[in-house]
Structure 1
Amino acid sequence: MAGGAKARRLPRVVRERQMLDAAVRSFARHGYQAASMDEIAELAGVSKPLVYLYLNSKEELFTAVIRREAGALLGAVAAGVGGPEVPPDERLWAGLLAFFTYAAEHPDSWVVLSRQARTQGEPFAGEAARMRDGIVRFVAGLIGEAAAEVEGGGGITSRDVDALAQALVGAAESLAGWANETPGVTAKEAAATLMNFAWAGLGNLMKSERWSPR
C-alpha cells in the first residue's frame, strides 16, 4: 500500500513520460497493431487503466509518441546547428551529425518515426510527414544560404534548393536506418559519408558546373 501511495504522488508529467518511454519501446519492438497496452503498462510500472486514464486510447498514445519523438529529433538537429555566423557547410555538417547521432542514440524512436508511423495510415502518417517537412525546410534554408554566399548563386533556383533538400533528407533517412542496422558504423561516419556525397555535388553547382547526359 505504501508503495502504491508513493507511486500516486509522482507528478502527472513524470507518469506520462514513463508511459511514453514504454510505448516507444513496445511500438518499435512489435509495431502499432501488435503492441499491447498490457505490456506498455507493465514496462511503465503502472496499471493499464491508468494508461487509458492519462492517454485515452492506443491511437492517441501512438500519436503522442510520434509527436514527442519528432519534436525531440527536430530539437536535436536545430540545437546542433550553429548560428548564422557559422559557414553554411559547417552548419549542414553539424545538422547531419546531430541527426545521425540522435538516430543512433535513440534507435527505438527512429524505428517508430521512420517505419511504424509511416505504414499505419492516417493520422500517423500525417504526423510523420509534418516532421519530415520540418527537416526539409531546415535543410533547404541551409542550402539556400550557401547559394546566397556565392556570387550569382551558381544559378541555383528555389526549385533546385527544394529538390536538393528533398534528396538530401531522403538519403539521410535511408542511411540512418542502414547505419543503425550495420555493426561498427558510427553516427559520425554516416554523417561524413552523406556530407562528402552532398557537398561535393553542391560545390559543383555553386560553380555552375552541372552534369548533363551526353
Structure 2
Amino acid sequence: MPKPRVRRMPREVRERQMIDAAVRVFARCGYSAASMDEIAELAGASKPLIYLYLHSKEDLFGTCIRREAAALLGAVRSAVEPHAPADRRLWDGLRAFFAHTAAHPEGWAVLSCRARTHGEPFDRVVAELREEIVEVVVRLIEEAAEDAVGGAAAGRAPLNGREVTGLAHALVGAAESLAGWANGPAGAVPSAKETAETLMNVAWVGLENLVSGRRWEAAASKAGVVSSG
C-alpha cells in the first residue's frame, strides 16, 4: 500500500515561523547572544533550512527589523484619517503607535534597543523608520499651524521650518520613551489610550500655544512674566 503523501508547508509560511521565532530570541537575547540553534528549535525547523531560506544570522536579523518596522509604520498610517482635523490625526496616530508597541513588545524591543546596539546596517533601518514617522508628524504640525494662522491666530508669525522639525523630533522621541516605559516590567501598566493621552496633553497644548503666538522666553521667565506673543 503506497504511503500517504506528506504535504509540504509553503515556503512563505515556514519563513514567517522562522522570523517569528527569531524576533522572540533577538528581543530576549540581543543579536550577539542569540543562538541560531535556539531559533531553529523554536521555529520547529532545522538550522540548515533557516540558512537556506534566510542565508545568515545577520540577514535574518535584518529581515526581522524590516518586518517589524514596516508593521509599526503601517499601523500608524492606517489609523490616521487623511481628512480629519490635525489634532485628531495626531491623536489617532499616537494611539495606534502605543497600541501596536503594546501588542508586539518583542518586535518593539528589537526595533528600539536590540537593533541599535548592533550598529550598521541595522541602526540605519531603524533611523529610516524614525524619519518616516517624523515626516508624518511634521506635516501634522505644519497643517495645525496653517489652520491656526488662518483663523483665530491670524497675524501671528508662523512657525519656521526648523521649529517644526525640532518639535516633530521631540514628539517622536517622547513617544519612543513612553513606549519603553509602558512596555516595561509588570505593574501598573497604562493602556495605549492613557499613554497617548499623556503625550497629547503635553504636545497639543504646547503646540496650540505656539501657533497662537504664546511662547516661553527665558528673559520673561526670569522676571516671572509669561510671554503672550
* Same structural fold, with TM-score higher than 0.5 when normalized by the shorter chain: yes
Separation in structure 2 between the aligned mates of residue 178 and residue 4 of structure 1, nearest angstrom: 51
Separation in structure 1 between the aligned mates of residue 6 and residue 58 of structure 2, nearest angstrom: 29
Separation in structure 1 between the aligned mates of residue 213 and residue 19 of structure 2, nearest angstrom: 49
Q: Is the 8 A contact 1:147 1:154 kept in 2?
A: no
Separation in structure 1 between the aligned mates of residue 6 and residue 14 of structure 2, nearest angstrom: 14
Separation in structure 2 between the aligned mates of residue 106 and residue 154 of structure 1, nearest angstrom: 42
Overall identity of the aligned pairs, in %: 59
Question: Given the alignment, which residue of 65, 80, 89 partners 1:91?
Answer: 89
Separation in structure 2 between the aligned mates of residue 96 and residue 109 of structure 1, nearest angstrom: 17
CA shift digits 1:133-177 (9 cap, x unpaired): 111111111111111112257521111111100000000000100
Separation in structure 2 between the aligned mates of residue 149 and residue 133 of structure 1, nearest angstrom: 24
Gap change, CA 1:93 and 1:76, over 3 Å in 2? same
Gap change, CA 1:212 and 1:36, over 3 Å in 2? same
Answer 1 or 2: which has greater helix percent. 1
Superposed structure 1 runs of 4+ greater than 3 Å apart: 2-6
Q: Is the 8 A contact 1:154 1:205 kept in 2?
A: no
Question: Given the alignment, which residue of 111, 114, 120 partners 1:113?
Answer: 111
Counterpart check, 1:141 vs 2:139:
yes
Question: Residue 181 of structure 1 aligns to a residue in which SS?
Answer: coil
Instruction: Give the letter aligned to residue 18 of structure 2.
Output: M
Alignment partner, residue 173 of structure 1:
176
Question: Given the alignment, which residue of 191, 205, 212 partners 2:210?
Answer: 205
Question: Residue 150 of structure 1 aligns to a residue in which SS?
Answer: helix
Alignment partner, residue 18 of structure 1:
17
Number of positions where the alignment pairs a residue of Structure 1 with one of Structure 2: 210
Question: Residue 190 of structure 2 aligns to a residue in which SS?
Answer: coil
Separation in structure 2 between the aligned mates of residue 132 and residue 32 of structure 1, nearest angstrom: 21
Separation in structure 2 between the aligned mates of residue 210 and residue 27 of structure 1, nearest angstrom: 44
Gap change, CA 1:42 and 1:188, over 3 Å in 2? same
In the TM superposition, 1:1-214 aligns within 5 A as: 5-6=6-7, 9-83=8-82, 85-151=83-149, 154-181=157-184, 183=187, 184-214=189-219
Gap change, CA 1:3 and 1:191, over 3 Å in 2? farther
Once the two structures are TM-superposed, the CA of residue 5 in structure 1 deviates from its matched residue by 3.5
Once the two structures are TM-superposed, the CA of residue 4 in structure 1 deviates from its matched residue by 9.9
CA shift digits 1:95-149 (9 cap, x unpaired): 0000000010000000000000011111111111111111111111111111111
Instruction: Give the letter aligned to residue 208 of structure 1.
Output: G
Separation in structure 2 between the aligned mates of residue 39 and residue 80 of structure 1, nearest angstrom: 36
Q: If the length of structure 2 is used for normalisation, what is the TM-score?
A: 0.88
Separation in structure 2 between the aligned mates of residue 16 and residue 30 of structure 1, nearest angstrom: 21
Q: Is the 8 A contact 1:23 1:62 kept in 2?
A: yes
Larger Rg: 2
**Structure 1 stretches lacking a partner, 5+ long:** none
CA shift digits 1:46-94 (9 cap, x unpaired): 11100000000000000000000000000000001111x2000000000
Q: If the length of structure 1 is used for normalisation, what is the TM-score?
A: 0.94
Separation in structure 2 between the aligned mates of residue 3 and residue 30 of structure 1, nearest angstrom: 41
Gap change, CA 1:18 and 1:149, over 3 Å in 2? same
Separation in structure 2 between the aligned mates of residue 142 and residue 118 of structure 1, nearest angstrom: 27
